[in-house]
Amino acid sequence: MLPAANRLRKKADFAIALSGRKINSKSFQLFLHRSSENAPPKAGLIVAKSVGNSVVRHRVARKLRHAIAPLLPLLPNGSLLVARAFPQSAAEISATQLSNEFEVALKKVLS
């Protein structure tokens, strides 16, 4: 679970994040918008119905949350991060592979 202070909740925040830098990975897209605010970094997930039924979507969201949580301290203050799962590939990948893929993508988007 992501800490409450680090969760994206507002539609407007998601829109801002989606206008930021984009990195494509095998299983997801990563969007990062950097801001000069002195607020904690926030992260959000987009797992569409095309990924699978409710059970599959929640499993993918859980894997993504567990990949994001330990890497939140790497994000600069005021940044907004959104991970959008791709249909099929995100549902079939293991949690370890997803975490490794997420770490590589985050390093790319931060550089």
Q: 3-state SS of the chain?
A: CCCHHHECCCHHHHHHHHCCEEEECCCEEEEEECCCCCCCCEEEEECCHHHCCHHHHHHHHHHHHHHHHHHHHHCCCCCEEEEEECCCHHHHCCHHHHHHHHHHHHHHHHC
pLDDT band at 9 (very low <50, low <70, confident <90, very high): very high
Contact 81, 41 (CB under 8 A): yes
> Mind listing the pLDDT tens digit for each residue in 24-78?
998 999 999 998 778 899 999 999 999 989 999 999 999 999 999 999 998 989 9
The domain over range 4-110 is classified in CATH as 3.30.230.10? yes
Instruction: Give the angle 64-65-66 at the CA atoms, nearest 5°.
Output: 90
Contact 28, 59 (CB under 8 A): no
Domain extent listing, the chain: 4-110
**Span 94-103, average pLDDT:** 91
Contact 5, 40 (CB under 8 A): yes
pLDDT for 89: 83
